[in-house]
Amino acid sequence: MAKEVNKRRTFAIISHPDAGKTTITEQLLLFGGVVRKAGTVKAKKSGSFAKSDWMEIEKKRGISVTSSVMQFNYQGKRINILDTPGHEDFSEDTYRTLMAVDSAVMVIDSAKGIEPQTKKLFQVCRMRGIPIFTFMNKLDRDGRSPLDLINELEEVLKIDAYAMNWPIGMGKGLKGIYDLYNQRIELYRKEDHEETFLKLDQTGKLAEDHPLKEESIYRQVLEEIELLKLAGNQLDPQRVAAGEMTPVFFGSALTNFGVKTFLDAYLQFAPAPGSHQLVDGQSISAVNPEFSGFIFKIQANMNPNHRDRIAFVRICSGKFERGMDVYLKRTGKKIRLANSTQFMADTRETVEKAVAGDIIGLYDTGNFQIGDTIYTGKQALQFEKLPQFTPELFVKVSAKNVMKQKSFHKGIKQLVQEGAVQLYQSYSTGDYILGAVGQLQFEVFQFRMKNEYHSDVIMTSMGHKIARWINPEQLDEKMSSSRNLLVKDRQGLPLFLFENEFSERWFKDKYPHVALTAKL
């Protein structure tokens, strides 16, 4: 089993929308032999989540969502790529996904440098201390100077950077990359041409005669490389493993240039599954023979023809076999895992066996919640809590057609379990209230309610609110006033939705003994 676990490389690609995540994913799948033609994944793109895109995806559902986990074999390794929605309104989903990976690839548009979403996602990876690899994309276009990009990584993200390779020109003048790591020059070529590598001699210059030697850009790059060797960081695999240093690769995903070079080097540095933290401060090693895992994502109606609901499990230790019994920590119940699936780029297949590092999908009839731990063996386990966000935007929601309450309730229940939005109920009126981090979440909710549950919903915006939980024992319903709304969450726990900071402060002044908390 340890041998199998050590073959696993499980990672996510993080980037700001449009940096090229989908394009590079597709190239990786090409190398894995999973898709045969570029453009296959593109059509199924589930990342960008403009509302119109999302509806498009909806039509192609079942395919689109298989791309949320992609698995393939490459050079003796088994690779799991987890997709993350790019739009910031879905950052909660993305953050949870990042809890399920062992490393991350950060794709940056070399003309734009670090953008807001890259920075946020980077910080989550940083917090987890996982290795981060950087791909500076779109070298076939004129972008910023490589030195400038490297400096920005160090200054803005506060991470040491080590250039694994260096562009020789860019845009129309792109000649290739100077590959420090492999001691060679890789010539730029049209997408459908073979790679050409030129050897470097001991001093780092071209070993043989080549027209490139006469180009001024070649001489300039040699100077830059000298400078890097003198003033830059040394490659330190331990610091890479600790997430303190990021190896940087340059390339162009669109023309499939430098992507294979990146992947090959990446696989040498990217970690196999390690250990996972438990709530009690202990940890579980990936090669522990007992099975354990946690649910980081739930998705309903992945295939509209089957009306199914899938719970995505990251296996943290041991091995999974279809039909095995596990314990669900939250309820203490024993559950048989009979219906499981794994994901390739455009198919789903039943999975019989999987090991730590793999992601499996369990067909779920309502047993699981996001954050659940499942395990075998005598010792009850609970993995660390997944990050949660306090919603900031709220809407009142009701069914347009009062005769159709049943589908309304079913839809809300399932979508809330998915973690798509949060649900609250007003103490005084019983109204349903939804909370989200971003507006787009509501729009997708409304769209899915109609499409998947045939329920037209009316949403009335309540605007921004500050959500603060209160100890139920300290609650007195009289504390509710016109400036705050008393609601209960899905677990029945009370919280106030304050209009603004002023009304929260006013409340605190009035009830100094009452403790308010931002998150549960």
Residues annotated as binding site for GTP?
15-22, 83-87, 137-140
Residue 40 C-beta: closest distance to ligand GDP, Å: 13
Q: Which phi and psi (to 5°) does residue 228 adopt?
A: -60, -45
Q: Which helix (H) or strand (E) holds 296?
A: strand 292-300
Q: Which amino acid would we find at residue 44? A: K
Closer to ligand GDP at the Cβ: 22 or 68?
Answer: 22
The rounded distance, in Å, linking the Cα atoms of 421 and 442 is 7
The rounded distance, in Å, linking the Cα atoms of 31 and 73 is 9
The rounded distance, in Å, linking the Cα atoms of 162 and 346 is 36
Closer to ligand GDP at the Cβ: 179 or 358?
Answer: 179
Closer to ligand GDP at the Cβ: 142 or 215?
Answer: 142
Binding site for ligand GDP (CB under 6 A): 15, 17-23, 47-48, 86, 137-138, 140-141, 252-254
Residue 84 C-beta: closest distance to ligand GDP, Å: 10
Closer to ligand GDP at the Cβ: 26 or 452?
Answer: 26
Closer to ligand GDP at the Cβ: 24 or 272?
Answer: 24
The rounded distance, in Å, linking the Cα atoms of 389 and 96 is 11
* Dihedral, CA of residue 487, residue 489, residue 490 and residue 492, to nearest 10: -80
Cβ neighbours of residue 483 under 8 Å, at least 6 residues apart? 498, 499, 503, 506, 507
Bridge pairing between strands 77-82 and 69-74: antiparallel
Could you list the residues known to form a binding site, using ranges: 15-22, 83-87, 137-140
Residue 218 C-beta: closest distance to ligand GDP, Å: 22
Residues present in the chain in total = 520
Closer to ligand GDP at the Cβ: 141 or 483?
Answer: 141
- What letter would DSSP give residue 481? B
Closer to ligand GDP at the Cβ: 260 or 413?
Answer: 260
Residue 401 C-beta: closest distance to ligand GDP, Å: 37
Residue 116 C-beta: closest distance to ligand GDP, Å: 14
Residue 26 C-beta: closest distance to ligand GDP, Å: 8
Closer to ligand GDP at the Cβ: 252 or 341?
Answer: 252
CB-based burial of residue 275 (10 Å sphere; 0-12 exposed, 13-18 middle, 19+ buried)? middle
Residue 136 C-beta: closest distance to ligand GDP, Å: 10
Contact (CB, 8 A) for 484 and 470: no
CA geometry: angle 252, 257, 258, nearest 5 deg: 95
- What letter would DSSP give residue 402? G
38-to-26, 35, 41, 173 alpha-carbon distances in Å = 7, 8, 8, 25
* Dihedral, CA of residue 260, residue 258, residue 165 and residue 84, to nearest 10: -80
Residue 140 C-beta: closest distance to ligand GDP, Å: 5
Residue 292 C-beta: closest distance to ligand GDP, Å: 32
Contact (CB, 8 A) for 298 and 419: yes
Q: Which of 398, 425, 424, 390 is nearest to 504 (CA)?
A: 390
Closer to ligand GDP at the Cβ: 47 or 438?
Answer: 47
For residue 276, the cross-strand partners are 284
Residue 81 C-beta: closest distance to ligand GDP, Å: 13
CB-based burial of residue 387 (10 Å sphere; 0-12 exposed, 13-18 middle, 19+ buried)? middle
Closer to ligand GDP at the Cβ: 253 or 370?
Answer: 253
Give the SS3 label for residue 63.
Answer: coil
The structure tokens 């314990």 sit at 327
Q: Which of 182, 173, 261, 175 is nearest to 211 (CA)?
A: 175
